[in-house]
Amino acid sequence: MTDISIVTAFFDIGRGSWTAEKGFPFYLARSSDTYVERFANLCQLKNDITVFTSPDYEERLTKIAEKREGKTNILTIDLDENFSEHLSTIERIHSSESFKSKIHPSQIKNPEYWNKYYVLVTNLKARFTYSAIEQGLPIHEMVAWIDFGYVRDLKQIPQSKKWTYEFDPAKIHLFEYKEKDPGRSFEEIIGLNDVHILGAKVVARKDMWYIMDKLMQESWEYLESIDMVDDDQGLWLISKHKDLESFECHKIPDHQEGHDPFILFNEFNDSA
């Protein structure tokens, strides 16, 4: 059984105000309290966890992690200070008529098409993970990115409260609903918000995260070159097709068909 370290992040980008009453899709609104509660669920696992967050959330998250006996690292970072250039680029593309013309009208309210902080944070998942590895924080050779709000229900935590699994160490592991149709362009897929890969989880050996970070940067640059941006799910997909040999994709239930895709700790677990 292979132990797995976890990296995650939380930044309050105002999602609690994205309500149906304001014209947003009903599924978007989540308060910061909801995210913190779900992080407390994640902390039920015995795996070590590294968290990136803003300085104003450090104390609150530290209190949740106190009972984990040193198995949690909390790192603070100011997004505006450290990623001002990225934020400016995203804002420029969001406001361009070229970008807006590529997005289907039914999807334009989704945050990847208008919220620069949402795009930035989701695009930084590989960068955060690789940064944690460079700092020597993850304990184990296998490291996973897991979204901060991934554990929506304690039923998603295995009875053992331990996550171990024999993922192939030679591959980067993605979790997908479906494969890309070779005849469809990334531009079309992004414009329709047609999700292929769940962005909430990725698993790889420590040194493979360098590859993932590099591919994500190249995918970002490709989208910028065609006057587009997208969240992590689009960038994961582009990254996969830049280097198919480096990836192994695992099929998961499709949320677009009403299924629960948040099955990682129970379905991919030798310790459950």
Helix (H) or strand (E) holding 147: none
Instruction: Write out pLDDT tens, residues 141-151.
Output: 999 999 999 99
**Short-list 207, 185, 205, CA closest to 194:** 185
Per-residue pLDDT of the chain (272 residues; tens, 9 = 90+): 799 999 999 999 999 999 999 999 999 999 999 999 999 999 999 999 999 999 999 999 999 999 898 899 999 999 999 999 999 999 999 999 999 999 999 999 999 999 999 999 999 999 999 999 999 999 999 999 999 999 999 999 999 999 999 999 999 999 999 999 999 999 999 999 999 999 999 999 999 999 999 999 999 999 999 999 999 999 999 999 999 999 999 999 987 777 789 999 999 999 97
The correct answer on CATH 3.40.50 for the domain covering 4-267 is no
pTM beyond cutoff 0.75: yes
The encoded tokens of residue 39 equal 């992080």
Domain extent listing, the chain: 4-267
The full DSSP string for 183-224 is: TS-HHHHHHTT---B-TTEEEEETTHHHHHHHHHHHHHHHHH
Q: What is the spatial distance between Cα 43 and Cα 19, in angstroms, rounded to a whole number?
A: 28
